[in-house]
Structure 1
Amino acid sequence: MLSRVALRSVAGQQSVSTTLVARTSATSTEIVGVRDEKNFPRPVRGEPGKVRLGFIPEEWFQFFHSKTGVTGPYTFGVGLTTYLCSKEIYVMEHEYYTGLSIILMVYYATTRFGPKIAKWLDSEVDKVETDLNSDRVETLKFLEETIASEKDAQWRAQGQELLVQAKKENVLLQLEAAYRERLMNTYQEVKRRLDFQLEKTALERRFEQKHLVDWVVTNVSRAITPDQEKQTLDRCIADLAALAKK
């Protein structure tokens, strides 16, 4: 467990430096253009690998599996320890028992307090990572709000274009209405003048007819003598008397 804590601490420090470098490169890249997330993904904080017996990496056991099977790593460890002790390469002096007692205490402390310490260190690493990414998150949020504002401004600009187009159409309608009004005024004026000429012609014709009738009546009256008038009157009376008898 302590080895895992140490590995996580080292990984946290490496992730901090990597994040700073990535942020610097990202800042310089974003100044030029948009970051290529596909070809150049952002670095992710690495997690330490699995361990056995609290400190032995899993890769060491996987190395023996293809050659000795599952029990090979344990057999190798026990055999190596037996060989070192039997050949007195590793002498069991009084420091050995001190080390053995220390190992037992470390194992107890690891099993008892290791998970809590690991959890606390993980929370600290997450806190550091969150603090480092907070600026980036705020910048992304600000840029997203800016993009939204720009899209809203573009939408409003499109609305202004529609409004200007509507105003142009309104002006064209007003011009068309003025043209039609002037056209109607011209028509009415021409019709009034034509009606005046028609009435004038009809009046002149009536005056000519009346004058002609009066002239004919006057001349006819002048041509009739008193004797002809008397004869005509007598003839009319005779005709009326004849009609009365019938």
Structure 2
Amino acid sequence: MLSRVALRTVAARQSASTALVARGSSSGARDEQNFPRPVRGEPGKVRLGFIPEEWFQLFHSKTGVTGPYTFGVGLATYLCSKEIYVMEHEFYSGLSIFIMVYVAAKKFGPPLAKYLDKEVDAVESEWNEGRQQTITTLEESIAAEKKSQWQAAGQELLVQAKKENVLLQLEAAYRERLMTAYNEVKRRLDYQLQKATLERNLSQKHMVDWIVSNVNKSITPDQEKATLDRCIADLSAMAARQK
């Protein structure tokens, strides 16, 4: 019965994880929340070279800061006093080996750790180099796409400016044609005015010539002689008055 329940639980978890993976793959993006990227683990803090920090934190809430050390010393004293841990000749050999290992760790440990950390960082950077190159390529592609969009927006502005330029040219051509029509109408009206003025002057001149010729024709030689004599007499009278 328990095995059936366990199998059902495992199957349910697998189906849920499959659904999450399918959901992430359908959207085309990595599910960073349910499936985060693996991160290289760092070793935790230790005391005395080999005892984890968590063991000391377990005693702090109940015994204080000196509790873990008191517990360790008391436990070692109890084991040695009750001869649960027998100190035979192998113990002293192990103690001497521990001292040599401790001295070697203190002397050669930091340079070796620095060298190993450097090697690990080099391997990690080599692994991440391809990923970083891909990210850089994608960022450059995004920047190029944004630049293309900006250039496309500039093309729209250029097209709009060209449309306005065409409208200005049409307006200039329209005004030029209006001015041409105005000048042509004015020229024709001036022509009609000059024509009417010339016809009126010719008519007046013709009328004056006609009247003068008719008047000259209506004057007889006797009337002309009498008029000439009268003029001479008037001139003689005016000359006599001036004297």
- Class of the TM-score when normalised by the shorter of the 2 chains: 0.7 to 0.9
CA-to-aligned-CA distance 1:194-224 (integer Å, 9 cap, x gap): 1111111111111211111111111111111
**Distance (whole Å) between structure 1 residues aligned to residue 34 and residue 196 of structure 2:** 97
Aligned to 2:53: 58
Change (3 A) 1:176 1:36: farther
Alignment partner of 1:105 is 2:103: no
The one-character-per-residue Cα deviations of 1:116-146 (angstroms, maximum 9, x if unpaired) are: 1221222222223222322232222222212
Hey, what's the Cα distance between the residues in 2 that align with 1:224 and 1:36?
Answer: 132
Aligned length in residues: 221
Tell me, in whole angstroms, the C-alpha distance in 1 between the residues paired with 2:182 and 2:168.
21
Aligned to 1:142: 137
Considering only aligned residues, what root-mean-square deviation do their CA atoms show, in Å? 2.7
SS at match of 1:162: helix
1:85 to 2:80 alignment: yes
Q: Which moved more, 1:53-62 or 1:146-155?
A: 146-155
Shift of 1:56: 0.6
1:117 aligns to what? 112
Partners of 1:160 and 1:123 in 2: CA distance: 52
Amino acid at match of 2:57: Q
Structure 2 letter corresponding to 1:186: A
The alignment status of 1:193 with 2:167, answered yes or no, reads no
Q: Which runs of 5+ in 2 are unaligned?
A: 1-19
Structure 2 CA distance, aligned partners of 1:199 and 1:40? 100
Which segment drifts farther, 208-217 or 230-239? 208-217
Task: Compare relative contact order (CA 8 Å, sep 6+) and give the higher one, 1 or 2.
Answer: 1
The match for 2:8 is none
Tell me the alpha carbon deviations over residues 52-82 of structure 1, each in whole angstroms, 9 at most, x when there is no partner. Answer: 1100112212222233333222222122122
Aligned match of 2:207: 212
Aligned match of 2:228: 233
Corresponding residue for residue 165 of structure 1: 160
Residues 3-44 of structure 1 show CA distances to partners (whole Å, capped at 9, x for unaligned) of: xxxxxxxxxxxxxxxxxxxxxx9xx95983566879987555
* Partner SS state of residue 54, structure 1: coil
Query: Which residue in the other structure is 1:151 paired with?
Result: 146
- Matched to 1:154, the amino acid is Q
Distance 1:241 1:146, change over 3 A: same
Cα deviations across residues 128-180 of structure 1 (Å, max 9, x unaligned)? 32223222322222222122222222222222222222222222222122212
Long gaps (5+) in structure 1: 1-24
Q: 1:30 to 1:218 in 2, by over 3 A?
A: farther
Q: Give 1:232 deviation, angstroms.
A: 0.5
SS of equivalent to 2:167: helix
CA distance in 2, matches of 1:56, 1:94: 26
Amino acid at match of 2:91: Y
